[in-house]
Structure 1
Amino acid sequence: MASTLKEEKLYINLIRILGTLLLALSYFYEYTNQAAISLIGGFLVLLLYMVLIWAETTWWNEVKYYVVSMMIISIILVLHYVFDSPHTTLLWPLYFIILLMNRVYPRVSLIMGLITLSCIAWVNALSLSTILGLLGVMLVARSIKIRRDAHLLTTLHLKELDRAHQELEVAHKELQEATVHSIRYAALEERTRLSREIHDGLGHQLTSLIVQLQALQIMHVTEPEKASDSINQLLGIARQAMAEVRVAVKEWTNDEMGLGIVALKGLVSQTQGRSSVQFKFNQNSELSEWPIETSIVLYRVLQESLTNILRHSDADQAWIDIDEAGDRIQLTVTDNGRTEKGGAGHLGYGLNGIIKRCEEWGGSVSISSVEPHGFRVKVMLPVERIAIVEEKE
């Protein structure tokens, strides 16, 4: 953009220099052998032309354009009709300067162009065809100027749009990174909660197992039949402890592909900790390992759904159900609160955001009321993103 403006400024300065030289030569050729009054009048016209050509754009306004242009026309007409000066060719530069250089005030350009053309036709007794030809030149010049201005404006808009697009891309990237960090934090918090539960639950079970095994050593000698019954009880405790260990090992994987379900549970735990609503998370099937992008979509959808429950539903209970069948994940969020006026058809910014996010991923969203009261958001999402074009086909 800077190079374009620099080239345009250079082009205008070259036109100014060339115009100044041509005006000076025209003045020298026409007025040096004239009477003193014609010489002085022509010099005044030349000075006014210099003002018209070289004055900065910020100095001008419509009144100044009218005054300078009318002074040039008036002096030339007075010299011609009052002092019998035979030369009026200095009217012609005004006609072209107004057409080509006045880009800020198009109304001045049109009015003064017509006035100057009328004076030229009057003084030189031009034929109708010549007048029409000059009028055509004026219209063509204005058309070129308008197109050039429109092109420059379009170029500026395109550059602004490109800059805004780049800023949006950076913001989107930062948002994605922030979401990944949120998922990792939620997963870490959920793992911490699991560690605490395992410490309390598994530790208690193992302590009980050790105590009963010690008792079994004594009982095996004194009461063999009772010892046999205790073995079955100890096996039950051991199997329960092993089940908890397996759950922990499965959810503690360091692979980012496994962050999804852990992060969702962590988000529910975080929300539970800062509200009075009772949330229940149900995993209804075995889940595969999701790509981090899919986890981001599900995390954002659940986050917005929980936020809506806290802000608008007045619910005291909510259920989050997730299951996976084939290559599709279904996430359902249900509450027992009140339904907003307008029912499920009245969607706010957050719910519309959920719909848009899921559709961009190739999924679908179902929003409905729950009888006798409550609200349900059901999301169906592919494990891997499906292009919208492919889905339509």
Structure 2
Amino acid sequence: MLFDANTRLIKVIATIALLYVLYKEFTNQVFEAVIGFSLIILLYFVLLWARETWLSGVKYAVISLLILAIELILNDVYGITDAALLWPLVWILATVYDKYKYLSSILALLTIVVFICISRPVTFTAPLILVGLFIVVLIRKIWKNAYRMKELHLQEINKAHQELKEAHAELQEATMNSMKYAALEERIRLAREIHDGLGHQLTSLIIQLQALEIMLPDEPKKASEVTTQLLQIARQAMAEVRFSVREWSSDEMGLGIIALKGLVSQIQGRSPIKFNFVQESKISEWPNETSIVLYRTLQESLTNILRHSNATSVTIHLQEVNDEIILKVSDNGDYVNEVPLKAGFGLNGMIERCQQHGGTCTFTSAKPHGLCIEITLPIEKRSHHDIHNP
């Protein structure tokens, strides 16, 4: 907008200057000469104020040649040697250089030649100044276009950055929803196990307690044996309760380890591969960003195994050591150390994601064959209570 305002101001100043030159310098000429100079001024008005969409290279060439032709006619017929009205033409041709490079240069050169031909006395100072004017206007035009391109590029970068931020936020939200779904599915699975396992044992315990009540008066010895069985059932039920409580309390936010387990359970449900999730240490609550990185990298690891490994079993090891989370995913697939690992978009994405959060992601061969992916992430902040190893 600033450049547009400046351009309009320059056009107004140029128009006033042309009218002033016509009135001051050429009104004392013969009538035919005044008509010729007026026609030149009119042609300049067309160049200055016509819409850019209307003007074209051909029209610039025709109008410029008409101006030069009138100047030559006035010089030849009336002996007029004042070429002051050629100066604006050099300026105008320089302003359209970016659109019509060769045409603008040729017409400007032709204008300078005509200027030399009709000017008296002959001097090279004015033509050099004309060349300098063309170069100065051209440099200003180039700088103006560069500034516009810079502003446009900056706007595009800002727009792309905003779109990237929105896409990242949407991706984070989608990941969070996926993790919540996985955690919910894992909780439903645990609830089902409690219902099926603990419910069955409690039912059996109730039935045998009812039988024990009948046996006590008549068969005290057999009742003692039944009591032992009942204690065993009760201990099994208690073990089920403790395991389930540990599973439920492993992640109070529902976005950490329970989401990882839920992801493994989801994939296990649609794959013949046997998955084994091993928690090797106490686990603390993780920040959402850390949980998302672990979830996404585990998801990509398991997806890569399903697509390329031909594995029959996968083991996931998770532990916290020295304020770091270590996640290892090992399979018994086809990969052997002799074959160079070609990291595609997914594996490279895992590496970059871990590095962005101050961690690492490495790939080694498993024995005797298969791939081991080890992800290490720092724990940004720990909760006040840890979850004991099951």
| 1:257 positional shift | 3.1
In the alignment, the residues of structure 2 paired with residue 180 and residue 19 of structure 1 have an alpha-carbon distance, to the nearest angstrom, of 64
Work out whether 1:338 is the aligned partner of 2:330: no
| Aligned equivalent of 2:322 | 326
| % same residue | 51
Work out whether 1:24 is the aligned partner of 2:13: no
Unmatched tracts of structure 1, length 5 or more: 386-393
Contact 1:336 1:375 in 2 (8 A): yes
Correspondence for 1:110 among 81, 105, 112: 105
Correspondence for 1:88 among 83, 87, 98: 83
Q: Cα RMSD between the aligned structures?
A: 2.5
Judging changes above 3 Å, is the alpha-carbon distance between structure 1 residues 327 and 47 closer, same or farther for their aligned structure 2 residues? same
Work out whether 1:201 is the aligned partner of 2:190: no
In the alignment, the residues of structure 2 paired with residue 228 and residue 325 of structure 1 have an alpha-carbon distance, to the nearest angstrom, of 49
| 1:253 positional shift | 4.9
In the alignment, the residues of structure 1 paired with residue 320 and residue 223 of structure 2 have an alpha-carbon distance, to the nearest angstrom, of 45
Secondary structure in 1 matching 2:4: helix
| 1:302 positional shift | 1.0
| 1:258 positional shift | 4.3
Q: Which amino acid aligns with 1:267?
A: L
| Aligned equivalent of 1:237 | 233
Correspondence for 1:59 among 33, 54, 69: 54
Tell which deviates more after alignment, 296-305 or 280-289: 280-289
| Aligned equivalent of 1:390 | none
Q: TM-score, normalised by structure 2?
A: 0.88
The aligned runs of 1:12-161 (5 Å cut-off) are 12-100=7-95, 103-124=98-119, 125-161=121-157
| Aligned equivalent of 1:391 | none
| 1:308 positional shift | 1.0
Correspondence for 2:355 among 352, 359, 367: 359
Q: Which amino acid aligns with 2:88?
A: P
| Aligned equivalent of 2:385 | none
Q: Which structure has more RCO (C-alpha within 8 Å, separation ≥ 6)?
A: 2
Contact 1:328 1:381 in 2 (8 A): yes
Contact 2:91 2:133 in 1 (8 A): no
| 1:277 positional shift | 2.2
Correspondence for 1:374 among 355, 370, 374: 370
| 1:107 positional shift | 3.5
In the alignment, the residues of structure 2 paired with residue 284 and residue 311 of structure 1 have an alpha-carbon distance, to the nearest angstrom, of 28
| 1:304 positional shift | 0.7
Unmatched tracts of structure 2, length 5 or more: 382-390
In the alignment, the residues of structure 1 paired with residue 118 and residue 250 of structure 2 have an alpha-carbon distance, to the nearest angstrom, of 93
| 1:102 positional shift | 5.1
Secondary structure in 2 matching 1:379: strand
Q: Which amino acid aligns with 1:99?
A: A
Work out whether 1:307 is the aligned partner of 2:303: yes
Q: Which amino acid aligns with 1:174?
A: E
Q: TM-score, normalised by structure 1?
A: 0.88
Q: Which amino acid aligns with 1:202?
A: L
| Aligned equivalent of 2:172 | 176
| 1:281 positional shift | 1.9
Tell which deviates more after alignment, 292-301 or 319-328: 319-328
Count, aligned residues? 380
In the alignment, the residues of structure 2 paired with residue 213 and residue 146 of structure 1 have an alpha-carbon distance, to the nearest angstrom, of 97
Judging changes above 3 Å, is the alpha-carbon distance between structure 1 residues 28 and 112 closer, same or farther for their aligned structure 2 residues? same
In the alignment, the residues of structure 1 paired with residue 219 and residue 282 of structure 2 have an alpha-carbon distance, to the nearest angstrom, of 45
Secondary structure in 2 matching 1:259: coil
Secondary structure in 1 matching 2:207: helix
Q: Which amino acid aligns with 1:15?
A: I
In the alignment, the residues of structure 2 paired with residue 241 and residue 259 of structure 1 have an alpha-carbon distance, to the nearest angstrom, of 28
| Aligned equivalent of 2:343 | 347
